[in-house]
């Protein structure tokens, strides 16, 4: 009887061990790092208009490797993807008071990067199928002040870029692609991030490939490429000698990646396809093990898309069960299942946006005379995102673990045990 009795009620746990943590750092990265350390040159950058403006040997090799792998003309390595987003919005020429539409289901840096340039984030709702930004909601949120869209490929599934491009062309908008969670994902045989005017990936510690911290911007537009490089490396100190005439947003930063991180990135990018394949295999096993559970909606992959499963997303079908999401997750934890969490970030509900306080205490930039209208961030503006977050969305944080077939099978057993008891 104990075998079928829930662990939360005194039965035996389904899983009695810890899952392996995600780790793709190996001897290749170790050798690459040691080579940099022994060279004594940990950064090749200088904020001058000379050859060192472009960084050291490993930076250039890594950027070339990214250009080849993601089939883009230009790649610009950054010290983080947050830096990459700030640089991308600046390179796009966004000005104070301009509006940039994005999704509430993303990391907060996607929106704060907009605020960085004193522009105004506008939140469109998401698709229930993929959890990506909904093109219909994008168009509903366009105003005369709209200048760009930040399309986030959330969890590893590509956005509906064809529809988003149609909207961008119709209203003369720039598309910035945030592919932080979806490096290696394909959309109509094209790498995500490469179809945007400016796109890019994250190299944060739990992304598909990582260098601890870091990011890479992609673009096929030479003008954007130059501006990205300038913003990365103290633009204001370089533009005169470089004879760069357009001074728009030429406030530069130290967004430069070091040689150690670039050396790690060179080795990591070689592993990207195998990492994606392993996560897709685990997702297939989870799909197989959970497919008979009517109380769950499994991940949906749209036609001509691949999914890299940074997160394995589930929806609890509340109309088919009397178990709440919280009770399900508590029962899963008791069974020894690690990595499930409820909801996802509805960033429009963060205190910053609810109180409209960012710079200083007087509601700047929303209160500035360059802001054209009153912006509503109240609950109800993104009903699908809010309902999923509050009630029915469940994330399996695949990004934190290297699951085995045994792990996936036992996760399936734990779910079946719980639902058979309820």
pLDDT in tens, 316-327: 999 999 999 999
Q: What is the pLDDT of residue 171?
A: 98
Residues 249/113, Cβ–Cβ less than 8 Å: no
Mean predicted confidence (pLDDT) in 124-130: 98
Q: What is the pLDDT of residue 178?
A: 97
Mean predicted confidence (pLDDT) in 241-269: 97
Q: What is the pLDDT of residue 2?
A: 54
User: What would the pLDDT profile of 411-420 be if each residue is shown by its tens digit?
Assistant: 999 999 999 9
Q: Is the pLDDT of residue 145 over 90?
A: yes
Q: What is the pLDDT of residue 415?
A: 97
Q: Does domain 7-23+272-344+384-421 have CATH number 3.90.1150.10?
A: yes
Contacts of 4 (CB under 8 A, 6+ apart): 11, 417, 420, 421
User: What would the pLDDT profile of 271-286 be if each residue is shown by its tens digit?
Assistant: 999 999 999 999 999 9
CATH class of domain segment(s) 27-271: alpha beta
Q: Strand (E) positions, 167-322? A: 174-178, 186-187, 190-191, 199-202, 215-219, 296-297, 312-316
User: What would the pLDDT profile of 187-203 be if each residue is shown by its tens digit?
Assistant: 999 999 899 999 999 99
Strands 120-123 and 99-102: parallel
Q: How confident is the model at residue 422 (pLDDT cuts 50, 70, 90)?
A: confident
Q: Is the pLDDT of residue 235 over 70?
A: yes
Task: Tell me the C-alpha distance between 30 and 36, whole Å.
Answer: 10
Indicate the angle between helix axes 405-421 and 325-334, nearest 10 degrees: 130
- Say how many CA atoms lie within 13 Å of 94 toward its Cβ: 33
Residue 377's alpha-carbon distances to 13, 174, 187, 309, in angstroms, are 43, 23, 31, 30
Domain residue spans of the chain: 7-23+272-344+384-421, 27-271
Q: How confident is the model at residue 8 (pLDDT cuts 50, 70, 90)?
A: very high
Task: Tell me the C-alpha distance between 2 and 26, whole Å.
Answer: 42
Residue 112's alpha-carbon distances to 38, 358, 368, in angstroms, are 38, 9, 17
Q: What is the pLDDT of residue 222?
A: 98
Q: Is the pLDDT of residue 51 over 70?
A: yes
Q: What is the pLDDT of residue 4?
A: 83
Burial class (CB in 10 A: 0-12, 13-18, 19+), 55: buried
Q: Is the pLDDT of residue 1 over 70?
A: no
Q: Is the pLDDT of residue 255 over 90?
A: yes
Mean predicted confidence (pLDDT) in 123-140: 98
User: What would the pLDDT profile of 70-96 be if each residue is shown by its tens digit?
Assistant: 999 999 999 999 999 999 999 999 999
Task: Tell me the C-alpha distance between 253 and 45, whole Å.
Answer: 12
Task: Tell me the C-alpha distance between 293 and 282, whole Å.
Answer: 18
Average predicted confidence (pLDDT) for the chain: 96
Q: Is the pLDDT of residue 312 over 90?
A: yes
Residue 167's alpha-carbon distances to 95, 133, 141, in angstroms, are 21, 13, 11
SS3 content of the chain, % helix, strand, coil (to 5): 40, 15, 45
């Amino acid at each position: 009887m104990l075998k079928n009795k829930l662990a939360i009620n005194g039965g035996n746990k389904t899983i009695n061990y810890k899952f392996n943590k995600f780790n793709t750092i190996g001897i290749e990265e170790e050798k690459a790092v040691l080579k940099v350390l022994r060279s004594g040159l940990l950064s090749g950058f200088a904020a001058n208009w000379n050859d060192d403006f472009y960084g050291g040997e490993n930076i250039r090799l890594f950027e070339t490797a990214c250009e080849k792998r993601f089939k883009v003309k230009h790649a610009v390595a950054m010290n983080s993807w947050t830096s990459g987003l700030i640089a991308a919005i600046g390179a796009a020429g966004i000005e104070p008071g301009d509006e940039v539409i994005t999704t509430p289901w993303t990391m907060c840096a996607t929106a704060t990067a907009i605020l960085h340039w004193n522009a105004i984030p506008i939140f469109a709702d998401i698709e229930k199928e993929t959890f990506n930004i909904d093109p219909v909601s994008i168009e509903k949120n366009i105003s005369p002040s709209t200048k760009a869209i930040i399309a986030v490929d959330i969890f590893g599934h590509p956005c509906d870029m064809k529809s988003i491009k149609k909207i961008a062309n119709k209203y003369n908008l720039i598309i910035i692609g945030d592919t932080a969670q979806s490096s290696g994902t394909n959309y109509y045989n094209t790498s995500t991030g490469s179809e945007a005017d400016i796109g890019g990936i994250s190299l944060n510690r739990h992304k598909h490939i990582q260098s601890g911290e870091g990011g890479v911007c992609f673009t096929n537009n030479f003008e954007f490429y130059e501006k990205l490089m300038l913003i990365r490396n103290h633009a204001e100190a370089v533009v005169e000698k470089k004879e760069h005439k357009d001074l728009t947003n030429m406030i530069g930063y130290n967004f430069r990646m070091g040689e150690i991180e670039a050396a790690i990135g060179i080795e990591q990018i070689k592993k990207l396809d195998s990492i994606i394949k392993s996560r897709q295999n685990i997702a297939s096993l989870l799909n197989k093990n959970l497919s008979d559970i009517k109380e769950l909606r499994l991940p949906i992959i749209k036609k001509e898309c691949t999914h890299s499963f940074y997160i394995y997303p589930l929806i609890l079908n509340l109309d088919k069960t009397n178990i709440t999401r919280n009770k399900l997750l508590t029962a899963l934890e008791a069974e020894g299942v690690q990595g499930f969490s409820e909801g996802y970030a509805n960033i429009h509900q963060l205190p910053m946006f609810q109180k409209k306080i960012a710079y200083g205490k007087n509601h700047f930039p929303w209160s500035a005379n360059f802001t054209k209208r009153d912006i509503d961030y109240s609950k109800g503006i993104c009903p699908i995102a809010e309902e999923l977050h509050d009630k029915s969305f469940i994330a399996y944080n695949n990004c934190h673990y290297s699951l085995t077939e045994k792990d996936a099978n036992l996760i399936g057993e734990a779910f079946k045990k719980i639902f058979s008891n309820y």
